């Protein structure tokens, strides 16, 4: 049954149980696994590894593309099998262990991990565990629903373990485009000149003699937990659509906009979804993760092409899209995340980047990662790759969280992932602030009036008024900059008199 998917017959003898494959991974090793935004991760070998770690000392450094599904990070964490983890994660159990200091988490720009490996600033990769839909006649690996860092992990690893996933449709073959930059100092330009450019191979070329084990699985990807659009995310999408219209009227964009990137998650997905009812057409995406909205835009006839590094779908869309992947295939490319997120390509194409802020400040700095400046949420992911190099860098967030107890916009963010220079436009359900070519004093006025929730506007205005007395290019009261956070920590609400304020 599975043998027709292993076209290099000499590899048939490599098929083993997950436990046998996992035994190739030893304590202290650096392991690279496939998986990006809950798509295409190795699913059974890591679980066998977790089982073993319950019985014997086994701690590894685990690198992936981005977040994993299938509870892999949870089970490895519970088994205390992780000493170091990078470059991104999204699991609550692992998150807690990171925040307790039990797992050393290295939060990296997603385009950079393999650069560090190739230049031997990290690594070496001892074992790579890669999910595939099949293996070509010459041993090439055909990835599944993500590429992520799989290509470079597979090329660099001493030992290769393959998970052949029979639940993933063979029709995925041909959708991938594996291009690896040439070596410095002889590196050539990355030849991607449009989102639909195919510049590489449809599989990962490797030396098949390094395949030491193949494990056959039937486990599907975990579905995304993206929430449907709500009134607030619809308002955010509406503000952004109006802004794009205005840019078109000023001759800065056409109705086909520019290649679009949207970060993972509910808000960015909802914003993209909002384009269905916009006047824009013949859109293209040059993004990292392709979510439900990508396929909704295809179905609505709005989207011509989408390039990403993974497909992550909700329960509602997963089976339909995967079983009809042929319908979309000619309009889709999955690339290594180093290419989907490459500064060179993003800058060249002139991407519009839409990413989610956890917290933003009145001067336009953005925190994407640290709750209260201390506790890691997921990681910076690709947002920095896109925001820094985008033609237009948009950040979106709801103006408040926890029923209004937290303002997403504060006087000073408690952690900076994207500095003021990398944030062109900030949008909440309240409105949009176009920060381009403004000085900090101008930005704060605009952000407070347009983006801050009404219940918090006076607090922000008061802060600015007092800070202005001290002067400076970016006026601040350092001793009060985190007063809202301290109050939230003490009382559970950022406002002194929340009820009175809310009643205004």
Q: How far is the CB of 436 from a second copy (least distance, A)?
A: 6
In the complex, minimum distance from the CB of residue 83 to a second copy, in angstroms, rounded to a whole number? 10
**Which of the residues 215 through 234 are near a second copy (CB under 8 A)?**
none
Query: Does 115 help bind a second copy (rule: CB under 8 A)?
Result: yes
Q: How far is the CB of 60 from a second copy (least distance, A)?
A: 14
CB 85 within 8 A of CB 103: yes
The DSSP secondary-structure symbol of 501 reads: H
- The answer to the question of residue 106 lying near a second copy (CB under 8 A) is yes
Q: Are strands 359-361 and 409-410 parallel, antiparallel or unpaired?
A: parallel
**Strand ranges in 87-240 using DSSP code E only, listed in sequence order:** 104-105, 127-135, 141-143, 159-165, 211-217
Minimum CB distance to a second copy smaller for 186 or for 231: 186
Which candidate, 162, 159, 66, 157, places its Cα nearest to that of 117? Answer: 157
Alpha-carbon gap, residue 105 to 64, rounded angstroms: 12
* Region of 257 on the Ramachandran plot (φ > 0 left; ψ -120 to 50 alpha; else beta): left
Restricted to residues 409-448, the positions that interact with a second copy (CB under 8 A) are 412, 414-421, 436-439, 441-442
Active site residues: 288
> In this structure, what token pair is assigned to residue 200?
């590489």
Residue from the set 380, 400, 409, 447 that interacts with a second copy by CB under 8 A: 380
In three-state secondary structure terms, 85 is: strand
Phi and psi angles of residue 172, each rounded to the nearest 5 degrees, phi first: -65, -25
Distance CA 324, CA 16 (A): 31
- Which range touches a second copy (CB under 8 A), out of 5-13, 73-81, 170-178, 184-192? 184-192
Of the candidates 156, 207, 151, which has an alpha carbon nearest to the alpha carbon of residue 178? Answer: 151
Which positions from 462 through 501 interact with a second copy, judged by CB under 8 A?
467-468, 470-476, 478-479, 481-482, 485-486, 489
What is d(CA 110, CA 105) in angstroms, rounded to the nearest whole number? 14
CA angle, corner 359, sides to 223 and 248, nearest 5? 80
Is 212 one of the binding residues for a second copy (CB under 8 A)?
Answer: no
Stretch that binds a second copy, among 44-52, 148-156, 305-313, 344-352 (CB under 8 A): 344-352
Nearer Cβ to a second copy (217/365): 365
Contact 402, 488 (CB under 8 A): no
Query: What is the Cα–Cα distance from 19 to 24, expressed in whole angstroms?
Result: 9
Is the CB of 119 or the CB of 209 nearer to a second copy? 119
Report how far residue 480's alpha carbon sits from residue 130's, in angstroms, rounded to the nearest whole number: 49
CB of 106 to a second copy, least distance (A): 5
Give the shortest CB-195-to-a second copy separation in angstroms: 9
Count residues binding a second copy (CB under 8 A): 85
- Min CB(138)–a second copy separation in Å: 30
- What is the closest distance, in whole angstroms, from the C-beta atom of residue 124 to a second copy in the complex? 11
**Site for a second copy, residues 2 to 61, rule: CB under 8 A:** none
What is the rounded CA–CA span in Å between residue 391 and residue 238? 21
Of 98 and 272, nearer to a second copy (C-beta) is: 98
Residue 350 near a second copy by CB under 8 A: yes
Residues 118-157 that bind a second copy (CB under 8 A): 119-122
By CB under 8 A, tell whether 370 contacts a second copy.
yes
Query: Closest CB to a second copy among 203 and 463?
Result: 463
| DSSP-assigned letters across all residues of 8-31 | SGGGGGGB--HHHHHTT--TT-EE
Please report whether residue 391 would count as binding a second copy according to CB under 8 A.
yes
- Select 251 or 403, whichever has its Cβ closest to a second copy: 251
403 binds a second copy (CB under 8 A): no
Counting contacts by CB under 8 A, is residue 303 touching a second copy? Answer: no
- Nearer Cβ to a second copy, position 223 or 464? 464
Residues between 240 and 279 that touch a second copy (CB under 8 A):
250-252, 258
Judged by CB under 8 A, does residue 405 bind a second copy?
no
Give min distance, CB of 304 to a second copy, in A.
12
Distance, CA of 371 to CA of 106 (rounded, Å) = 17
What whole-number distance in Å separates Cα of residue 371 and Cα of residue 377?
7
Four-CA torsion 394, 427, 38, 323, nearest 10 degrees:
-90
Residues between 59 and 98 that touch a second copy (CB under 8 A): 84, 86, 98
């Amino acid at each position: 049954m599975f043998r027709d998917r292993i076209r290099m017959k000499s590899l048939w003898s490599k098929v083993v149980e997950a436990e046998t494959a996992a035994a190739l991974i030893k304590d202290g090793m650096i392991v690279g696994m496939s998986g990006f935004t809950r798509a295409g991760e190795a699913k059974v070998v890591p679980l066998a590894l977790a089982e073993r770690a319950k019985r014997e000392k086994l701690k590894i450094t685990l690198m992936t593309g981005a977040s994993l599904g299938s509870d892999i990070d949870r089970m490895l964490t519970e088994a205390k099998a992780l000493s170091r983890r990078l470059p991104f994660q999204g699991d609550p159990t692992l998150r807690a262990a990171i925040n307790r200091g039990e797992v050393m988490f290295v939060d990296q720009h997603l385009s950079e991990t393999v650069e560090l490996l190739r230049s031997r600033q990290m690594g070496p990769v001892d074992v790579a565990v890669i999910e595939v839909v099949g293996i070509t006649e010459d041993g090439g690996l055909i990835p599944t629903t993500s590429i992520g860092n799989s290509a470079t992990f597979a090329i660099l690893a001493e030992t290769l373990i393959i998970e052949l996933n029979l639940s993933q449709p063979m029709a995925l073959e041909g959708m991938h485009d594996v291009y690896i930059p040439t070596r410095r100092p002889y590196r050539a330009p990355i030849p991607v000149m449009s989102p639909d450019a195919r510049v590489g191979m449809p599989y990962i070329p490797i030396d098949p003699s390094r395949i030491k084990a193949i494990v056959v699985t039937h486990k599907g990807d975990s579905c995304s937990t993206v929430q449907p659009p709500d009134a607030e995310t619809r308002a955010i999408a509406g503000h952004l659509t109006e802004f794009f219209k205005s840019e078109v009227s000023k001759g800065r964009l056409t109705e086909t906009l520019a290649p679009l990137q949207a970060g993972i998650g509910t808000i960015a997905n909802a914003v993209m979804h909002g384009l269905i009812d916009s006047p824009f057409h013949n859109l293209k995406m040059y993004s990292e993760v392709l979510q439900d909205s990508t396929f909704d835009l295809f179905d609505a006839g709005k989207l011509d092409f989408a390039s990403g590094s993974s497909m992550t779908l909700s329960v509602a869309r997963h089976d339909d899209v995967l079983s009809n992947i042929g319908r979309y295939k000619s309009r889709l490319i999955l690339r290594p995340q180093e290419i989907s997120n490459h500064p060179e390509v993003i800058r060249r194409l002139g991407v519009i980047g839409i990413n989610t802020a956890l917290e933003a400040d009145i001067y336009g700095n953005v925190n994407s990662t640290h709750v209260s400046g201390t506790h890691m949420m997921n990681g910076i992911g690709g947002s920095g790759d896109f925001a820094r190099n985008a033609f237009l860098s948009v950040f979106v967030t709801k103006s408040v969280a926890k029923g209004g107890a937290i303002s997403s916009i504060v006087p000073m963010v408690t952690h900076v992932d994207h500095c003021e220079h990398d944030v062109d436009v900030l949008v909440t359900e309240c409105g949009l602030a176009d920060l381009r070519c403004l000085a900090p004093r101008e930005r704060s006025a605009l952000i407070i009036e347009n983006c801050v929730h009404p219940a918090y506007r006076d607090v922000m205005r008061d802060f600015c008024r007092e800070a202005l007395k001290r002067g400076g290019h970016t006026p601040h009261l350092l001793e009060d900059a985190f007063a809202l956070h301290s109050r939230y920590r003490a009382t559970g609400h950022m406002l002194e008199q929340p009820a009175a304020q809310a009643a205004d």
